[in-house]
Amino acid sequence: MSDNITAVVDYGVGNLFSLSSSLKAVGANAVITSDKEVIKASARVILPGVGAFADAYAKLCKAGLDALLSDCAGDGKPILGICLGMQLLFEKSYEYGCHRGLGLIPGEVVPLKGRIDVGLKVPHIGWNKLKYKSEEPAFKYISGTAYAYYVHSYFAETDERYITAVSEYGVSVTGAVRNGNVVGMQYHPEKSGDTGLLMLKAFCEEV
């Protein structure tokens, strides 16, 4: 665990400028990397991602990071998936077909379309209120009403016990999840103002 490093996995999916800036802002020692040794030696891992599920998962596998992330999860290393990065933590996704995911959290990723009122726009973009479990360690600095910034068209369906936060958008949209040391946030903490920064700060204190 050299220097309490938070490894941000860079696998060619999306832009990491805001995420790395926000981690810097909360005082984390963050390193953007695709280097397996760096990830292995890190204290915790963040898996970001925007774009399409299948493409992102293929890129992870191509870089040999799928097995590595499973090993990290098995070793008890804290892992945080953000947005598409969270969706990749689940067993499968129905985005353009049916695709396998990392399977670190039981459940599957399904489209909002068809599950919400046709009058509601997809993607679900904007600030939405969080209904959250206050005992969740990632929310230890959050109190009172909290809003998070979402941009997504698919969401995770999983057992109640893994869900730590939801937002209402026609259905109860899974906002955040936890399975032991594996955490996921559908919204973008790096774009959710002070609320998001406090969540990142809390995660970067997990060991």
- State the catalytic residues: 83, 188, 190
List the one residue from 66, 95, 136, 190 that touches another protein (CB under 8 A): 190
Distance CA 106, CA 89 (A): 9
Q: Binding pattern to another protein, positions 43-82, x when CB under 8 A?
A: -------xx-------------------------------
Piece of 28-36, 71-79, 94-102, 194-202 that binds another protein (CB under 8 A): 194-202
Distance CA 44, CA 28 (A): 11
Asked whether position 172 contacts another protein by CB under 8 A, the answer is: no
Residues of the chain by 3-state class (helix, strand, coil), percent to 5: 30, 35, 35
List the one residue from 4, 12, 74, 129 that touches another protein (CB under 8 A): 129
List the one residue from 27, 76, 106, 126 that touches another protein (CB under 8 A): 126
Cβ distance 89 to 182 under 8 Å? Answer: yes
List the one residue from 147, 157, 171, 206 that touches another protein (CB under 8 A): 147
Query: Which residues share a beta bridge with 163?
Result: 177
Q: What's the chain's Rg over C-alpha atoms?
A: 16
Cβ distance 103 to 74 under 8 Å? Answer: no
Piece of 32-40, 55-63, 97-105, 186-194 that binds another protein (CB under 8 A): 186-194
